[in-house]
Amino acid sequence: MLRQKVLVLYLANSALDSAVVGWSLFDGTGRTRRMAGDEDVPPYPTGLHALYDGWRLIQASPLLPHARGEEFDLAYLKYEFLFEQIVETRP
């Protein structure tokens, strides 16, 4: 049986080799159960390292300019990258 794992990495900027500043991992195999904030160290230092480990990039955030006066607003993590792995599991 094939199952999907999804990794969401929030990077410091739009470059895939920039530092990970936030992350979430969802394991469709059921082998691990994680929650937000349960780890202090990201699974990869950059998005590029996730690619090196076999994760497939399926979505990157569109590059949108900040509105005037909001250039330094930190209300949300803007640079979100979605990765997936398809893994085989036993029934």
Rounded CA gap, 85 and 78, in Å? 23
Per-residue pLDDT of the chain (91 residues; tens, 9 = 90+): 999 999 999 999 889 999 999 999 999 988 887 776 678 899 999 999 999 999 999 998 877 777 788 767 666 678 899 999 999 988 7
> pLDDT, tens digit, for every residue of 33-44?
777 667 889 999
Q: Is the pTM of this model over 0.85?
A: no
Closest-CA residue to 49 (of 76, 77, 15) = 15
CA distance 64 to 2: 36
The residue type of 68 is: R
